[in-house]
Amino acid sequence: MRKKFTRPLLVIILVTGILFVFVDLLKEETFTIIEKDTDTFVWIESNKLLNPTYKRASLGLENARIINSNGEEIDYRELVIGDKIKADFKPMVALSDPPGLGAWEVKLLN
């Protein structure tokens, strides 16, 4: 009686785990603003659980082009905690933990 329920349950758990890994690795990476350090620096966190570019980082917005979802350029002061963004990074600015990054372009998502 136990074998009839154990094997299908293990197969369901295994298939669900594989699907989770597959979906998480293929989804587009976005970042959430979790804290504003200064006017030109924000702390960001990735939405990916497996293999993120940066799990958490300090992002410099100075000289970055910031656009909203309509493609209009906006000021960095309009970004607030909880906003979802997509960023094009410059080469690493500071080797620290978490890393200090700069951005070429930041797109504010809906």
* Whole-number pLDDT of residue 78: 87
Please state whether beta strands 100-108 and 31-36 pair in parallel, antiparallel, or not at all (unpaired). Answer: unpaired
Contact 28, 48 (CB under 8 A): no
8-state DSSP, 15: H
pLDDT tens by residue, 6-61:
888 999 999 999 999 999 889 999 999 999 987 788 999 999 998 888 899 989 88
Domain-wise residue ranges, the chain:
28-108
Which of these CATH numbers, 1.20.1630, 2.40.50, 3.30.70, 3.30.310, describes 28-108? 2.40.50
Checking if the pLDDT of 92 tops 70, the result is no
Residue the block writes with tokens 């960023």: 87
Confidence of residue 97 (pLDDT cuts 50, 70, 90): confident
